[in-house]
Chain A
């Protein structure tokens, strides 16, 4: 059975071109870029190239790129590093719908005595900027708001937020893990101070990420023990990963618009047909203001994990915000923050596409989805015939 992969917000396939450029760095060019000998030292050139490729995609200076181990590390480093660099300011502003990589860090800092404000969202998942302005004050060290939500794909007006924050002399960080490679960025023209991204969400391998740090932004080092990455993030570089991420950035920069058009077309076809053919199915999020690859649909009266397992039987990969899939007992904190009723939150399914998906896969899935929904509704005590 062929796998139909609609879970690209979880992770993506490594692009063939990316794998090709990585291969020499395992067994042939395995030297340490910090070494004095040519064999090791030459590798530093490849890291430099990767840094340039990443900077080109982000529209920033290569010196503003710090390679990290993953998106979560970048988020941790940005928030904790900012608080450590501003001991006089003790307030953090974030949102209720952040990824746990941000939310858990904020809550930990709250336990250590910081004040944390979590901004709410409306039914479509959008923020109220007036609320942000209300809370922003001289004690605010950092405002951290994701660029786009991983569950619903809803995009936040981070450029506007960054300007507001700049006026108050606070640092603005954005978790852009779901956005880089999907939305064109130009950080040289933006007020964003810190930005996190993760390699494996844009067809680079797992285990490598980036923290963009605008020149002049005060940030405490977050890994000590060496001079790598400007002394901010010590540790021997993950050379194959970094080289791969550079290539992935180059590919993304080249294909971003063309791909988005294709991915958006496939997503819309998948979404519209499912909503049409499955009764009591509701779209979660803001239909217009969204990433082109993400669709989050709630199927009422049935439960997400059961849907996923049925899809799995047909080789289709997706994810769910239901309680049962997470191992916790409550459904997705994002959907709850949006006020999605429990009944719909438990039955939510997220499809997230990539450039490797085909129309054939979409056609196959829209044929199967109504069958699964009907089958589970036959079992459900809440569906009255």
Chain B
């Protein structure tokens, strides 16, 4: 059971400004059915350039609906410049706070607002597009967006970033990259959440090397494979040669774009030792695959 404030419940059960404005001055659409929440925001200006009316339609949980409702309330009477300054924190504060894991709802509100303002500036011609490098492919979150939530909310851990913008909440394969972005912004303040991340190995004994390889496979490689129905098994280590077997990879999955061998090799070189190379086990390749959609 989520611990929602009375204000959240009030706006969920009796949301304000539901609907869509005809001939709006700005339209913002974010999210999707697949992601589990989506918001369509429309607004209209009066003759003085202030927001006269704002309406929303939302697919999502209670906090997504409540966030949309208060956002439309907050917008009324503001100029475009004033509206552009609203952060996700302002929206959450207006609701008396949101559970940490629901903060992404407030971010969705701010994103919809940004999209609507951009749509207004471009005269309704341009639809919002993702800009910059996509870090989280599961939820389509860009580096810019991650930086924005870190700065707006003073975030210091990967878990927080996931709560605020979903990045890292799918297969988890981008968590290392998110950690680097946090460190880049927060420096010393960045929380070390990936405590078990293997360190660059100096001189390793054979047994240490094998353990580190297994640990890297478990923590860095397996989550991504698992999210796509696959798996990897460490068969043997012979000097610098790492022999692995892949199981149950789905042919249509996104990861098929890379050759799996290269991905594993890159990770092992990053986390264990620069001279490792990967070979696929011939015997196990003959085995039947766990291949179902």
Q: How far is the CA of A380 from the CA of B227 in the complex (A)?
A: 29
A379 at the interface (CB under 8 A from B): yes
Query: What chain A residues lie within 8 Å of B233 (beta carbons)?
Result: 115
Query: What chain A residues lie within 8 Å of B243 (beta carbons)?
Result: none
How many B residues face the partner with a CB closer than 8 A? Answer: 43
Q: Are A380 and B59 within 8 A (Cβ)?
A: yes
Q: Are A134 and B288 within 8 A (Cβ)?
A: yes
- Taking a contact as CB atoms closer than 8 A, the residue among B15, B37, B231 that contacts A116 in the complex is B231
Query: What chain A residues lie within 8 Å of B231 (beta carbons)?
Result: 110, 116
Q: How far is the CA of A302 from the CA of B65 in the complex (A)?
A: 11
A324-B36, A329-B162, A331-B36 known; A378 vs B18 contact (CB < 8 Å): yes
Query: What chain A residues lie within 8 Å of B40 (beta carbons)?
Result: 381
Q: Are A380 and B169 within 8 A (Cβ)?
A: no
Q: Are A328 and B292 within 8 A (Cβ)?
A: no
B246 at the interface (CB under 8 A from A): no
Chain B at the A interface: mostly helix, strand, loop or mixed? mixed
Query: What chain A residues lie within 8 Å of B120 (beta carbons)?
Result: none
Query: What chain B residues lie within 8 Å of A378 (beta carbons)?
Result: 18
* Stretch of A182-190, A205-213, A271-279, A339-347 that contacts chain B: A339-347
Q: How far is the CA of A379 from the CA of B59 in the complex (A)?
A: 7
B207 at the interface (CB under 8 A from A): no
Q: How far is the CA of A107 from the CA of B232 in the complex (A)?
A: 12
Q: Are A324 and B290 within 8 A (Cβ)?
A: no
Query: What chain A residues lie within 8 Å of B101 (beta carbons)?
Result: 327
Q: How far is the CA of A294 from the CA of B139 in the complex (A)?
A: 32
Query: What chain B residues lie within 8 Å of A301 (beta carbons)?
Result: 33, 59
A273-330 at interface with B (beta carbon < 8 Å) = 301-306, 309-310, 313, 322-325, 327-330
Give, as a whole number of angstroms, the nearest-CB distance from A232 to chain B: 30
Q: How far is the CA of A304 from the CA of B33 in the complex (A)?
A: 12
- Taking a contact as CB atoms closer than 8 A, the residue among B57, B169, B226 that contacts A328 in the complex is B169
Mask: chain A, 127-144; 1 = CB below 8 Å from B; 0 = not: 010010011000000000
Query: What chain A residues lie within 8 Å of B226 (beta carbons)?
Result: 107
Query: What chain A residues lie within 8 Å of B229 (beta carbons)?
Result: 120
B154 at the interface (CB under 8 A from A): no
Q: How far is the CA of A322 from the CA of B36 in the complex (A)?
A: 8
Q: How far is the CA of A113 from the CA of B218 in the complex (A)?
A: 10
Q: Are B60 and A324 within 8 A (Cβ)?
A: yes
- Taking a contact as CB atoms closer than 8 A, the residue among B65, B139, B234, B248 that contacts A379 in the complex is B65
Query: What chain B residues lie within 8 Å of A324 (beta carbons)?
Result: 36-37, 60-61, 102
- Taking a contact as CB atoms closer than 8 A, the residue among B33, B169, B234, B290 that contacts A329 in the complex is B169
Q: How far is the CA of A341 from the CA of B145 in the complex (A)?
A: 27
Query: What chain B residues lie within 8 Å of A331 (beta carbons)?
Result: 36
Q: How far is the CA of A42 from the CA of B74 in the complex (A)?
A: 70
Q: How far is the CA of A337 from the CA of B293 in the complex (A)?
A: 8
A111 at the interface (CB under 8 A from B): yes
A105 at the interface (CB under 8 A from B): no
A117-B247, A313-B13, A327-B101 known; A381 vs B61 contact (CB < 8 Å): no
A117-B247, A135-B290, A342-B33 known; A380 vs B62 contact (CB < 8 Å): no
Q: Are B59 and A303 within 8 A (Cβ)?
A: yes
B196-214 at interface with A (beta carbon < 8 Å) = 214
- Name A302's closest neighbour in chain B (CB-CB): B59
Query: What chain A residues lie within 8 Å of B29 (beta carbons)?
Result: 381
B97 at the interface (CB under 8 A from A): no
A119 at the interface (CB under 8 A from B): yes
Q: Are A382 and B59 within 8 A (Cβ)?
A: yes
- Taking a contact as CB atoms closer than 8 A, the residue among B33, B39, B218, B222 that contacts A343 in the complex is B33
Q: Are B60 and A303 within 8 A (Cβ)?
A: yes
B217-252 at interface with A (beta carbon < 8 Å) = 218, 222, 226, 229, 231, 233-234, 247-248
Q: Are A381 and B38 within 8 A (Cβ)?
A: yes
Q: How far is the CA of A226 from the CA of B48 in the complex (A)?
A: 81
Q: How far is the CA of A380 from the CA of B57 in the complex (A)?
A: 5
A118 at the interface (CB under 8 A from B): yes
Query: What chain A residues lie within 8 Å of B12 (beta carbons)?
Result: 306, 309
Q: Are B170 and A382 within 8 A (Cβ)?
A: no
Query: What chain B residues lie within 8 Å of A329 (beta carbons)?
Result: 36, 139, 162, 166, 169-170
Known contacts A322-B36, A379-B59; 10 further A-B pairs (Cβ under 8 A) = A113-B214, A117-B247, A117-B290, A303-B64, A322-B61, A330-B169, A339-B293, A379-B18, A379-B58, A379-B65
Give 9 closest A-B pairs by Cβ, nearest first: A120-B292, A329-B169, A324-B61, A305-B61, A381-B57, A381-B40, A342-B34, A343-B33, A111-B218
Q: Can you list 29 A-B pairs, Cβ within 8 angstroms, ordered by A? A: A107-B226, A117-B247, A117-B290, A118-B290, A120-B290, A120-B292, A131-B292, A135-B290, A301-B59, A302-B59, A303-B61, A303-B64, A304-B61, A305-B61, A306-B61, A306-B62, A310-B13, A322-B61, A324-B61, A324-B102, A328-B169, A329-B162, A329-B166, A331-B36, A343-B34, A379-B59, A379-B65, A381-B38, A381-B58
Chain A residues packing against B (C-beta within 8 Å): 107, 110-111, 113, 115-120, 128, 131, 134-135, 301-306, 309-310, 313, 322-325, 327-331, 339, 342-343, 346, 378-382
